[in-house]
Structures are given as structure tokens and as C-alpha cells.
Structure 1
Amino acid sequence: MAAYKARLQEFEALLGQDVIDREKLQKLCFSGVPDEGGHRALCWKLLLNYLPLDTSQWNDTLNKKRAQYRHFVEEMVVEPARLSKNGSGNDHVDDHPLNPNPDSQWGSFFKDNEVLAQIDKDVRRLCPDIMFFQRGTDFPCKLIVDDPEVERLHRRVTHFSLSSSSVTRKGLGITKMESSNRRSTNTDDYYHPLPPGSEAHWEVVERILFIYAKLNPGQSYVQGMNEIIGPIYYTFATDTNVALRENAEADCFWCFISLMGEIRDFFIRTLDESESGIGAMMERLMSNVRQQDFQLWNHLKSQELQPQFFSFRWLTLLLSQEFDLPDVIRVWDSLFADVNRFSYLIQVCTAMMVLQRDVMLQNDFASNMKILQHYPPVDVQVLLSKATELVESTEEDICDTTNTEQSS
């Protein structure tokens, strides 16, 4: 307990400085941010480069970014909803659903709804192990809930029913077509909207992802982004500071933008085999496993257990689907604090495999697939300690190699 209090005081002292020492911040956060004190949300904003290190600039930065996000909500959510409800006006009297003109508001409407349908489906199942996302937020978007002419995003999806096919990459990393019809889909396990005047947290996340998709038409929304934004929004929306909770939506949006700027190549299929793509990351993982535990690597190779069968999801979603939310958040403390951005992710994934080595060396292909695709419960602190141990052993090997080369 004394050590915990001392650690808490370290965070308070560091975050109370006029200019935050980034190196010290990374070192502290790498070992985990204390749950008490409300420091995690602030630390993540700093580590994700949303807030500057100079604390005197915080207010100006927050005011500017939050106002900009509010403008996005007005432009991309509120105004189109009003136009849809009130009609497009005399200037667009010839506009109709089959109008081939690329400037047709109907064309934009259908395109938006195609993206929105997937977002809506994904956010209604976000973090099902906790009740948080289906509960109402204390700070619903007043631009929407206070204006009867503005239709909430989830209601736009139900305006029409289209049989659609979406290309997705599942846990095996294999491209396949999925046919779906939203009216025939069983939605019993979906989160349901709250009454008018209120919003569930999943509706807030839906709005953030929709705006992101609108601002990034080349990439748009890709299935799995909901798993990336979920822990960030949860962390910000449960902050002990009421003023920060009130602005969780805008702050989450900008941190999500920053994080996606670093990992977006994982979500772009055409970059899979590039140096920054997910294919290269999977190769790095297996190369690291070979270096750390050749026997295990060789066993998996002999079984033809390819990394895309399990690590595609691990790496793309930053392990957000492998553990319960509190454990994911703890892992992300270390990932965000990693000086060599996300190289620690490779070590954590390697540690997951090494910790199961004794069992996996005795298993057949099917049993090992089950372990890797449905990772068994683990003390996340033990996992991270093992990952850090692997980092240190790698650094020692590099140092030994360098010394040998110099002596020769």
C-alpha cells in the first residue's frame, strides 16, 4: 500500500509540473497508471499527442479542438438530418433517389447509410462483458437530443432495408463475403437505443466513428475500429473529473484520430505486405518467437500454424479482444508509453505464446489453434512482466553481439 501511494504521488508530482517531462511520463505509464486519482485519461491524452507537454497551452488546445469537433457534429450529423427531414429545398427540386449526379444529396445519403449500417451493428455489441456502453451518458449531445428535427444516427439505418455484402477479414485473416439483411438479423443481443432526450454510450461512439468515416473517405470505417475506440472512450467517460467526462466525446475523437494515424496501415488491405502493414508485423512477431523460443517456433511451423490464423486480430486490434476491458486498459498503458511505438506489442504477443509453450508443445494443431484464438485467462501483470523480460533479453543479445563484433 505504501508503494502504491508513493507511485500515485509520483504521478501527481509529474503531472503538476509546468512542462511535463515526456521521458519520465513514459517510464511511469509503462509500468501502469494507478486507477485512483483520475490520471489515466490525462496521461493517455499526453502520450497520444493530443495535449502538448506545456501545461499552459492545455486550455487553448482543448477549447480549440472541442469547438472544432462540435463543428463536425453540426456539419456532418445535425445539418444533413435537418435537410433530410425538411426536404432539400427548391434548388434541388430535380434531385431524387435514382439521380446519377455525384452531387445528389440522395447519393450521399445512401453512401452514408451503407457505412453507418456497419458502424451501428458493431457498436451495439461493444464490450459485451460490461454494462457500460448500453447505459445512458450524463452528457448527451444537446445539438441532437434537444432538437426534435434532428434524427439520431441509429434511426437513419432503419429507413430502408438492403441486402448487402461486405468484405471483412475475420480472425483467420482470410477475405470472405458475408451476406446480411438488417431486417432479418437477430438483434436480441444488440444494445437498444434509449428514449428521446437521452443517449447511450454506444450511440456516442457511433457518432464519433461516423464522423471519422466522413473525414476519411479513402479509408472510411473498417470493422474492428470500434474495438480500438471502445477502451479510449470508456477511459475518458469514466474520468473522476466531471468537466473532463462532459467532453469525453470530443477528446476521445481526437485521441482516436491520433492513434489511427499510427496504426491505420493495419486496416488498409493494399498495404498488408508493405513495411508498415499487418503482414510485416506478423513476420516480426514470428521472427521474435523464433529468437526467444526456437523450439516453440519450430513446433508451430511443423504444424503449419500460420500467424494470420491468430495474430492478425491480436496486432490489428492491439489485443483489445483478447482480454477483459480492465486488462486491455492496463496493457494499453504500456503500449501507449512505448518509446519505440508499438514494438512492445510484438513482445506482449510473444509472451502470450511463450507462457503457453509447455502446453502447446504437447498439443496438436487444433488444440493450439484453440489456445491462440481463444487465449486462456491470465494475470495480465504476469504477462507484461514476461514481455518486459523478453525485451531485456533481446537488448542483452544485441549488446553481446555488438561487443563480439567490436572485439573481433
Structure 2
Amino acid sequence: MSAFSNEPLKDGNKGGFWKKGSGFPGSIKPVYGAQHPPLQMMPRGKEDRSKSSNKKDAFQDFENKTSDAWDDGDDDLLVMANIQMSLRDVQSTAKAVMENHSKQFSAQNQQNAIKDHVTAVPSATSSHGAGPGVGVRLNSGWRPPKSTPIRYTKDVVPDREATKLEKFRSVLAGPNTDLDELRKLSWSGIPKAVRATAWKILSGYLPASVDRREPTLQRKRHEYFSFIEQYYDTRHQEMHQDTFRQQQLGLGTILKDIPRMTSLAHLFQQQVVQEIFERILYIWAIRHPASGYVQGINDLVTPFFVVFLSEFIENDVESENFEVSQLPKETLNTIEADSFWCTSKLLDGIQDNYTFAQPGIQMKVSALQELVKRIDVPLYKHLEEQCVEFLQFSFRWMNNLLMREIPLRCTIRLWDTYQAEENGFADFHLYVCAAFLVRFTQDILREHDFQGILMFLQNLPTHHWQNEEIGELLAEAFKLKYMFADAPNHLSKKK
């Protein structure tokens, strides 16, 4: 939308529109805070006795022989052009304005006004002697200063994001990245410009040594596509049907799960994207026969894919609206391989979540229940009284790492911290889930039946969340970890 408007200006005093030919709008009025005396109109009889003088001193004649900042096209000026005024009265009025105005300012303010050369009309305290409003017309010797190019400046405010970005770049550019320092910086969020590189290092995909990074990327990307060449065509063989079209135990299938990823609907409905996810998930399942593909693993690829995609698109292009097919094939291959390896590194740390009967998730749900019992007794008792079991709502929290509960932008910010924490996806996630549940305590307590509580917990009001809410959640989770993680009898059921 244009920054300019064609709407007529409004009268600030009356709230109506100024119209050409309307009553006298008061064009001679206070400017820059001046105390303006009322306009002295000349009596009609005196006009008749001084026709030749008035003709010479008419306001329009006076205007035509004067050069200043007034706009000849203003409607109010056109009205004033028909009004006869005495030059003597105008001079007297302007003199009074100047005297009253100058008395209100201290000597310091006068000095500041003298130095000010950027306004088209000088102030009443300037050395030129011209006052506000009509006063500027009386000083025929004053000439406006020469125009200079406009320079737009911003207030000098420390740019925290820019400072933070410089710190990240300094750490990442060193010959050997200090991982402890990188984790410390990443805990409170990673700038978008360096997030992809930081994630690759924090996940263990890239080495700390700068010199080894490019050779590692080339080798791992080549290795991934060698897996594709070797195994991907076997997905149609009978021996691998249970992996690719798995229907056992109602766990779903790779082909069915991928189209369900609607957090960024347009992005994931694109065929090229779905094919990338199929390859990533199938190769991972082939290489991890102990678990194979389990429903929910597809979600864990998404943040990596979006973050690595953002390396190759402009900042003003929204990921969900981007046509991935526009990218070169080589770029798509890079995003695919990097997403595969980083997802594999993540799953290596929580693989017991996806083995038979998913024992890792069972233990985490039990640990969450014990933790909530200790930090929020009223909430725990309310869930117990309404026969709500933690497994019924928090299984998904553990299986999908809260990805179904919060927007993708929040998941990416959350993962900045998870990767900065030691065993963040396995251990710190427990405290985040506890803080997440307790955050909605009052809402849950207002629900007085099983169905109401489950419906609320499965449709939490988090669609509007931004980084601020995630920051608050992480702060609460950190407090819980600090209080309970090293307690002697903490979460005995976890063991």
C-alpha cells in the first residue's frame, strides 16, 4: 500500500474537511508554539478613504513580491488572497508575535535555534529576525539556506541482534570452534543467518575444525546419495514392503504420513518435497532395522529441512509460499543430504523412543507424571480425579517433541536450545514438557470432566506463540532442571 494518501486534509480544530471557497479558515494562525494575536481587519470606511494605498498594500500584491515557504496551491491561501489587509497591521501583528514568542525561550534555546538550519521556515528566535507564520514575510532580506540532500538517519540504538550475530560469526570463524562457547550463545536463540551452520556443528554433523568442514560435507553428501543409489529402488521389493508401506500395529506408513505434514501445507504438498522426505525416511529405516520407520519420525525431519532451505532463499520469502522446484537440483540435493544426517544424529540420541513398544517414551511419560506431582499438586490431583492419564496426552509430546503442539517457528527456536543443551532432546525435553503443562494449569482446572480436559490438551491455544513465549517456557524449564535434576531421589521411576 502506498505511503501517501489522496484524502483531503482535515481541519485539526473542527474535524471537518477544508473546502475551497468555504468560510475563512484562519490561515494566519499559531506556528511552532507562537502566541498569535487576533487578526485586525481594516474597517470598510477606512478602505474607501485609502483606495490607492490599499491597492498597493493588498495582501495578494504583497504575496506576489515576496518569496518564502508558502504553497500557492493551498486552499486557505486562495481564500486569503481576496482579503484586504493593511501592511501596517500585518507588521504590527508580526512584531507582537515575535516579541511574545522570544520571551518564552531562554538564551540556551535561542542558541540551539540559531544552529538549526534544516527547517524551511526559521524560528522566531533565529538571527534572521523572521518569526513564525506571517512574520517570515516581513523580512525581505532573508533568503532560505541552500538546499542539501535529505539524509535519513536512525536513532543510535544498540542493535542486540547485530551484536549477537557478530559473536556467532566470530566463534564460527575460528580455526577450531569453541563448542562450549557456541552452546552458550545458542541457548538463548540462534540468528537466522548462522542457524544452519550452528545446527550442523551442534548436532555433530560438522566438525569443530573449519578446515575439515568442507571435506566432511562433500564426503557425507556423497555417502548419502550412494545409499539412495544402492537401496532406494529396493523399496518396491517384497522384502521391504513392511518398511515402506508399513501397516503393522497401526503405526502408519511413510507414504501416508508425509502428506499429513500440514504445518506448512503448501510447502509439503509439493511433489518434489514429498519425494525428498520419502527418500530420507526410507534410507533411515533401512539403516536402523531395530526400530524401522515409526510414525512421528517424519515430523523430526521438518525443522532441519526448513532451516537448511532458508540458506538458499531470500529473507523476505516465506518458506510456506516458496516453490521448491525453482531451486537447482544441486541445491535440493544439498538440503536433502544435510537434513538426513542431522535427523540421524538427533534420532541416535533418542532411538529408544522408537524401538519395539517405545520404552524410551514410556519412561519419559512416567518421569513427567512424577515431576508434575511434585511441582503442581492441585493440577496432579485434578487430573487424577478426572481419570486423565499422562500417557493419553503426553505420549505425543514425547514422540513428536512438541511439534504438534506449537507452531513450526517456535519449534525451530526451541531446538536452538535443545541442541545447546547436553542431551537436550532426551533429558531437557522432560522439563520443557513439565513447564508446558503447568503453564496451562488454570485452564485445565476450569475443565471439570475427562472429555473437556482431553479436548483442551489436544487443542492447546498456542497458534499465536512467538519467540517470547518459547523464551518464557525455556526459563521455567531451566528452573525445574536446576531444582530437580541433581536431587538424590529425583524421579525414581525414570530409572
2:436 is aligned with 1:357: no
Aligned to 1:300, the other structure's residue is in SS state: helix
How far 1:14 moved relative to its partner?
1.3
How far 1:118 moved relative to its partner?
1.7
How far 1:384 moved relative to its partner?
3.5
How far 1:249 moved relative to its partner?
0.9
Map 1:225-240 onto structure 2 (within 5 A): 225-240=297-312
Instruction: Work out whether residues 231 and 325 of structure 1, in 8 Å CA contact, stay in contact via their aligned partners in 2.
Output: yes
Compared CA separation, residues 356 and 69, structure 1 to 2 (3 A) = same
Compared CA separation, residues 302 and 121, structure 1 to 2 (3 A) = same
Tell me, in whole angstroms, the C-alpha distance in 1 between the residues paired with 2:398 and 2:210. Answer: 33
How far 1:127 moved relative to its partner?
3.0
How far 1:246 moved relative to its partner?
4.7
Compared CA separation, residues 130 and 248, structure 1 to 2 (3 A) = same
How far 1:25 moved relative to its partner?
1.3
Provide, for residues 245-265 of structure 1, a one-character-per-residue CA deviation record: whole Å limited to 9, x for no partner. Answer: 651111111111111111121
Aligned to 2:431, the other structure's residue is in SS state: helix
How far 1:386 moved relative to its partner?
3.4
- Alignment counterpart, residue 6 of structure 1, candidates 158, 163, 177: 163
Aligned to 1:20, the other structure's residue is in SS state: coil
The answer for the alignment partner of 2:123 in structure 1 is none
Compared CA separation, residues 129 and 399, structure 1 to 2 (3 A) = closer
Map 1:257-276 onto structure 2 (within 5 A): 257-272=344-359
Tell me, in whole angstroms, the C-alpha distance in 2 between the residues paired with 1:120 and 1:400. Answer: 45
Q: Which has the larger radius of gyration?
A: 2
- Alignment counterpart, residue 199 of structure 2, candidates 38, 44, 52: 44
Instruction: Work out whether residues 351 and 386 of structure 1, in 8 Å CA contact, stay in contact via their aligned partners in 2.
Output: yes
Unmatched runs of 5 consecutive residues or more in structure 2: 1-157, 314-326, 490-495
Instruction: Work out whether residues 205 and 233 of structure 1, in 8 Å CA contact, stay in contact via their aligned partners in 2.
Output: no
2:339 is aligned with 1:208: no
Unmatched runs of 5 consecutive residues or more in structure 1: 85-105, 136-192, 194-199, 403-408
Amino acid in the other structure paired with 2:261: L
Compared CA separation, residues 74 and 246, structure 1 to 2 (3 A) = closer
Bigger Cα displacement from structure 2, 41-50 vs 386-395: 386-395
Amino acid in the other structure paired with 1:55: V
Instruction: Work out whether residues 129 and 324 of structure 1, in 8 Å CA contact, stay in contact via their aligned partners in 2.
Output: no
Compared CA separation, residues 278 and 68, structure 1 to 2 (3 A) = same
Instruction: Work out whether residues 243 and 292 of structure 2, in 8 Å CA contact, stay in contact via their aligned partners in 1.
Output: no
Amino acid in the other structure paired with 2:378: Q
Tell me, in whole angstroms, the C-alpha distance in 2 between the residues paired with 1:350 and 1:249. Answer: 33
Compared CA separation, residues 303 and 239, structure 1 to 2 (3 A) = same
The TM-score normalised by the length of structure 1 is 0.69
The answer for the alignment partner of 1:132 in structure 2 is 267
The answer for the alignment partner of 1:122 in structure 2 is 257
Residue identity (%) = 29
Tell me, in whole angstroms, the C-alpha distance in 1 between the residues paired with 2:367 and 2:181. Answer: 28
The answer for the alignment partner of 1:74 in structure 2 is 229
- CA RMSD, aligned part only? 2.7
Instruction: Work out whether residues 335 and 344 of structure 1, in 8 Å CA contact, stay in contact via their aligned partners in 2.
Output: yes
Map 1:1-400 onto structure 2 (within 5 A): 2-35=159-192, 37=193, 39-78=194-233, 80=234, 107-108=238-239, 110-111=241-242, 113-115=244-246, 118-135=253-270, 193=271, 200-240=272-312, 246-272=333-359, 277-342=360-425, 343-364=427-448, 365-377=450-462, 379-380=465-466, 381-392=468-479, 394-396=481-483
Q: Which has the higher contact order (CA 8 A, sep 6+)?
A: 1
Compared CA separation, residues 394 and 271, structure 1 to 2 (3 A) = closer
Tell me, in whole angstroms, the C-alpha distance in 2 between the residues paired with 1:109 and 1:294. Answer: 49
Tell me, in whole angstroms, the C-alpha distance in 1 between the residues paired with 2:292 and 2:423. Answer: 28
How far 1:216 moved relative to its partner?
2.1
Instruction: Work out whether residues 435 and 477 of structure 2, in 8 Å CA contact, stay in contact via their aligned partners in 1.
Output: yes
Tell me, in whole angstroms, the C-alpha distance in 2 between the residues paired with 1:218 and 1:49. Answer: 22
Compared CA separation, residues 237 and 278, structure 1 to 2 (3 A) = same
Provide, for residues 2-26 of structure 1, a one-character-per-residue CA deviation record: whole Å limited to 9, x for no partner. Answer: 1111111111111111111111111
The answer for the alignment partner of 1:183 in structure 2 is none
Tell me, in whole angstroms, the C-alpha distance in 2 between the residues paired with 1:218 and 1:284. Answer: 24
The TM-score normalised by the length of structure 2 is 0.57
Compared CA separation, residues 398 and 123, structure 1 to 2 (3 A) = closer
How far 1:113 moved relative to its partner?
4.9
How far 1:112 moved relative to its partner?
5.6
How far 1:392 moved relative to its partner?
2.4
Tell me, in whole angstroms, the C-alpha distance in 2 between the residues paired with 1:236 and 1:247. Answer: 9
Amino acid in the other structure paired with 2:337: A
Provide, for residues 359-401 of structure 1, a one-character-per-residue CA deviation record: whole Å limited to 9, x for no partner. Answer: 2122122222122112212535324423323422552578999
How far 1:311 moved relative to its partner?
0.5
Compared CA separation, residues 52 and 113, structure 1 to 2 (3 A) = closer
Bigger Cα displacement from structure 2, 378-387 vs 308-317: 378-387
Instruction: Work out whether residues 126 and 202 of structure 1, in 8 Å CA contact, stay in contact via their aligned partners in 2.
Output: no
